Structure 1
Amino acid sequence: MEKGLKYDFSLLALLLIPVGVSLNVVGYQVSTVLKLPVFIDQIGTFLVSMLAGPWIGMLTGLLGNVVNGMINPIAIAFGLVSMSIGFVSGYLSRWKFYTNIFGVLVSIIILTLVSALTAAIVTVFLFGGVTGAGTDLLTAAFLATGRELWNSVLSTNLISGLVNTLLNFFVSFLIVKRIPDRFLVKLTDGSLYLKKGAISCE
């Protein structure tokens, strides 16, 4: 069945947004305060996009960055990254990429490339390559080898993006696995993750 925009914005899907935003905000604050070289701020985006589709996932990602931007304005600029992740992840979920091991591996590669490219664009063109995050140290290391700024920032984001994607995806997937079937069937794409229909990460 073709699922349109109106179908995605069901009441239950909308109610998931605050949950996803809260998870993103907590993850972002932990990453920022501890100066971690990775960000665990997309758990909510992945979770919501898996269960409610690309548009709700994209909106969750954006709102999470807007809230984080109230504390650290830099986060707002990276809303593009979160929106891209939520949108792409939502379609990958809907197209059943997350229901088998091969699909998950392909999805991780796609999502890493999407997040790395969008993050590199924002970092270079809006911040000159430096954002104050822990990943700046890795960028500096690449620059020290003689690489140009764009190549250095993109390389950094490919590495951190892979780790970020793996962490955020699998944590969100484990959360989905803990959600009762009686609730999953009420969500837009929740039926894809009924206990008999989803892969196991355990």
Structure 2
Amino acid sequence: METTRRLRLNSTSLVLIPLAIVINIAIGQLAAGTPVYLDSIGTVLVGALMGPLMGALTGMLSNLIWGAATSSVPTASFFYVAGTIGLIAGFAGKQRLFLRASPRWFSAVVGAIFLFALTLFVLMFIGRTIDSEGNSVLPTMQDLFVSNWFIFVLALAAGAVAGYAVLQRGGYAGMIGLLTGVLCAIIAAPTAAYFFSGVTGGGTDMLVALYRASGANIMGSVLAQSTTSDPFDKMTSFMLVWLILQALPRRILARFPYGLPETADDQHVPAEPLASRLS
């Protein structure tokens, strides 16, 4: 079985790696200045289809090439985090968790968490103000929840409905993304804090400044920023890859080592076309 999978790493499947690197860099550049990264979609896609080794390789190469091309030391320095994302996505791909159907209630939970986090980010930036020195100041979490509690309740309810009706049986991908984000936040924080003092040149620097202004030290501020943005970011990336895999024809998926179900239990998730679920 493993020999067959190695043989299926043909020229067609290997083309995905440079394409994924381009996707990572392009979308990552577009997302610069926002509190999310979205620079690991290609990495997760490679991991899901080609396994942990190729996923980790894609992630590390993406950051190293991106850092070299833009002379960004912080970007290159987090190559190990990008590799970890690819590694986790690859193990999930080997277990067919991007293909295996999850319970619909599980997808409802994932949908609720996702929309809640999205609402938090949107309201955080809508509510930001400018201080006397011209710096952006974000509202505190307490102020956000107190003044917008009804919106958050609606977001949880709407997210649960959307997860149940649209995501349906793809909840595993979203939850793996969430857990990956938590792990990445933990392993990235020391590098960001001790080598860059929390300033990495991205939109997340604003969150670090917010937590610093609240009295937290460098390490605490960076860890708080990471645990605020990374889980949502990785959940988004994993769910986008899940959607991509549902849209790809079976003949394309068959070109990759982990593109098709291995057993009857690892059934391809959508029971109906994706377009009909979104309509």
Please indicate, yes or no, whether the TM-score normalized by the shorter chain is above 0.5: yes
Distance 2:7 2:53 in 1: 7
Quote how far apart the aligned CAs of 1:97 are: 2.9
- Distance, in Å, in 1 between the alignment partners of 2:39 and 2:88 is 16
**Residues 1:145 and 2:214 aligned together:** yes
Query: Is the contact made by 2:177 and 2:235 (CA closer than 8 Å) also made in structure 1?
Result: yes
> Is residue 111–residue 165 contact of structure 1 (8 Å, CA) maintained in 2?
yes
1:67-82 map, 5 Å: 67-69=65-67, 70-73=69-72, 74-82=74-82
2:223 aligns to what? 154
- CA shift, 1:30, in A, is 0.7
- What is the letter of the counterpart of residue 10 of structure 1? L
Task: Please say which of residues 56-65 and 167-176 is displaced more in the overlay.
Answer: 167-176
| Alignment match, 1:22 | 22
48, 53, 56: which one aligns with 1:55: 53
* Contact preservation (8 Å) 1:84, 1:114: no
Counterpart AA for 1:60: T
* Unmatched tracts of structure 2, length 5 or more: 107-171
Q: Report the counterpart of residue 10 of structure 1 in structure 2.
A: 9
Question: 3-state DSSP class of the match of 1:190?
Answer: coil
Question: Displacement of 1:95 after TM fit?
Answer: 1.8
Counterpart-to-counterpart distance in 2, 1:152 and 1:93:
33
Match for 1:174 among 243, 255, 265? 243
Q: Which amino acid aligns with 1:168?
A: S
Deviation at 1:109, TM superposition (A): 3.1
* SS of residue paired to 1:18: helix
Q: CA deviation at 1:170?
A: 1.8
Structure 1 residues 10-56: Cα deviation after superposition (integer angstroms, max 9, x where no partner): 22432210111111011111122xx1111111110011111011111
3-state SS, counterpart of residue 191 of structure 1: coil
TM-score, L = length of structure 1: 0.86
Runs of 4+ in 1 over 4 A off after TM superposition: 199-202
Residue in structure 1 matched with residue 252 of structure 2 by the alignment: 183
| Cα RMSD after superposing both structures | 2.6
Matched letter for residue 268 of structure 2: G
Q: Deviations over 1:72-124 (max 9, x none)?
A: 42211111111000001110221233323343354133211222122212211
Name which of 205, 216, 227 aligns with 1:136: 205
Q: Secondary structure at the match of 2:75?
A: helix
Rounded to whole Å, the distance in 2 between the matches of 1:104 and 1:79 is 23
Residue identity matched to 2:42? G
Q: Please, which runs of 5 or more residues in structure 1 have no aligned partner?
A: none
Separation in 2 of the partners of 1:156 and 1:126? 16
Contact 2:101 2:267 in 1 (8 A): no
Q: 2:187 aligns to what?
A: 118
CA distance in 1, matches of 2:7, 2:91: 12
Aligned residues between the structures: 198
Instruction: Supply the AA of the counterpart residue of 1:149.
Output: I
**Secondary structure of the equivalent of 2:207?**
helix
Q: Which amino acid aligns with 2:183?
A: V
Cα drift, residue 135 of structure 1: 1.0
Amino acid at match of 1:78: F
Distance 1:141 1:8, change over 3 A: farther
1:13/1:56 contact within 8 Å kept: no
Structure 2 contact 81–187 (Cα < 8 Å) conserved: yes
Structure 2 length as normaliser, TM-score? 0.64
